[in-house]
Amino acid sequence: MEWNPDALRAQFCHALSEMYKTEVPLYGNLTDIVWEADAQAVRANQEAGEDILNPDDVLPSRNRVERHGAIRLGTAHELATIRRMFAIMGMFPVGYYDLSIAGFPMHATAFRPKDLDALARHPFRVFTTLLRMDLLTDKTRKLAQAALKQRNIFTDRLIELIERAEKQGRLTSSESAEFITEGLETFRWHSKATTTLEEYKLLKAEHPLIADIVSFGNCHINHLTPRTIDIDLVQKLMLEHGMPAKERIEGPPRRVHPILLRQTSFKALEETVYFRDASGVFIKGSHTARFGEVEQRGYALTPKGRELYDGILAQVNTEAAKKQASSAEYEEILGNRFRDFPDDLSQMHSQRLAYFCYRLTQNGENLAKAQSSSGTTASLSQLLQRGILEYEPITYEDFLPLSAGGIFNSNLSSSTSQSKQLIANAGPDIDSFQRSLGTQITNEFQLYERMEQATLEDCRKRLGIETVLDVN
Ligand code: OOG
Ligand code: NI
């Protein structure tokens, strides 16, 4: 088969998903539940006479295979190498996430395809976290550095294949197959820790995620996330199947016009891990890190829309904390407060809360053919009012791990007070992240903005209009 990065990404994602199913069988059950929920949602839609005859209209093929994963890395070299590995699969760093706001000594980016075509072919993304050595206490940093120095999370053959792909711009089909098998080794679970039980406990006392990053020989995938069109139904089915589901769905409430991201998961499993004791003998212990998650994606918000979202969520959390709300009460507060976020496309468009793709209506197509508007100037609102253009929201392709406004009470209970202080005083450090990465991160807002502008520019050209006014 002809080599192309999109096909390689799709195959890699599939192989990773199959591997994770054998490692965490509950994840396999979760993907079955997602299929069931999506089928039910489509049926319910059809029965309600919603005029959706083709399930693929609601469920484009990309949804059915869509996954995101998450990994946590320890060193700049690991991050830079992962960047090279993902680039071969057409995945690039988009967005910077400062996790110190939630009390984690980590920051992150997401590797994902950037353009609409590639996203439509396969939207695999990996949320990739880097440990921040500057936010560790001296003792923990020394321990972490010593453990990380000894490990190599990439096989030698994978490095050869990466170099080959970089040099030649492609891999043969047998090399691609090897790239997948070798690449999986970076993400595979190992039940033997590389640290002693004593070291593990020290790391864990400072923050459980430090122990998760430092104590193993590679960067095991810690969850995979299929996408659904009805997350409320998935949550219900998870509970019915007796899965250890989280109490409630994170993110915005259910809406007619969904925004950003709603997520739920089953809780991380406690797994047996073998640690060496001081005399080098393996002893039994346990570690809790791996889980399964599900998400429903909505529309990408502009910085203005995001600010509104963050502000409302902050109010929700303050109110819920004051009332010590149960999850049912939280749901109610969420619903009430989110009335301030218009659930109406034309409002979201006119207030510039979300990003949109523009296209010609049938009327617009006719005008384009006739070239009757050639050389004129028109405003965007005129073109919309006259039914020449129409718009459709752009899907949010990024993450919402801990939206700034959503954090009201950082969960630092397991941190020592010195490290707590270090993390609390930290701010984002995108420069250091980019230095470690060895490249610039693409700003996600700019990416959506450019997508929007490109569709408008395409319409303008086809209509032969000179300029389109009042765009923003
Ligand atoms: C962060 C994972 C973030 C999501 O869906 O927001 C993420 C972590 O590694 O703990 O996957
Ligand atoms: Ni996730």
- Note the pLDDT tens digit of each residue in 124-154: 999 999 999 999 999 999 999 999 999 999 9
Quick one: which atom of ligand 1 is closest to the CA of 222? 9
For the CA atoms of 154, 155, 158, 164, the dihedral, rounded to the nearest 10 degrees, stands at 100
d(CA 364, CA 369): 9
Distance 210 CA to ligand 2 centre (A): 18
The reported pLDDT for the residue numbered 86 is 98
Residues with CB under 5 A from ligand 2 (ion): 225, 293
Res. 166 pLDDT band, cuts 50 70 90: very high
- Which of 48-52, 191-195, 412-416 ranks highest by mean pLDDT? 191-195
- What average pLDDT does the chain have? 92
Q: How many CA atoms lie within 13 A of 290 on its CB side?
A: 23
Q: Decide if pLDDT at 409 tops 50.
A: no
Question: What H or E segment, with its residue span, contains residue 304?
Answer: helix 303-323
**Ligand 1 atom 2 nearest Cα:** 70
Question: What H or E segment, with its residue span, contains residue 270?
Answer: strand 270-276
Q: Confirm or reject: Cβ of 70 under 6 Å from ligand 1.
A: yes
Quick one: which atom of ligand 1 is closest to the CA of 293? 5
The reported pLDDT for the residue numbered 53 is 45
Residue among 104, 294, 399, 411 whose CB has most ligand 1 atoms within 8 A, to mutate:
399
CA of 213, nearest ligand number? 1
pLDDT tens across 261-308, in order?
999 999 888 999 999 998 889 999 999 989 999 999 999 999 999 999
Q: Decide if pLDDT at 402 tops 80.
A: no
Distance 129 CA to ligand 1 centre (A): 8
The reported pLDDT for the residue numbered 412 is 42
Quick one: which atom of ligand 1 is closest to the CA of 295? 5
Q: Confirm or reject: Cβ of 129 under 6 Å from ligand 1.
A: yes
The reported pLDDT for the residue numbered 376 is 83
Residue position matching structure tokens 């988009």:
94
Residue among 71, 106, 109, 127 whose CB has most ligand 1 atoms within 8 A, to mutate:
127
**Ligand 1 atom 6 nearest Cα:** 401
Buried b (16+ CB within 10 A) or exposed e, 287-297: bebbbbbbbbb
Question: Taking Cα atoms as reference points, which of 272, 264, 231 lies closest to residue 245?
Answer: 264
Q: Decide if pLDDT at 372 tops 60.
A: yes
**Whole-model pTM?**
0.94
Q: Confirm or reject: Cβ of 401 under 6 Å from ligand 1.
A: yes
Q: Which two tokens stand for residue 134?
A: 């500057």
Q: Decide if pLDDT at 374 tops 80.
A: no
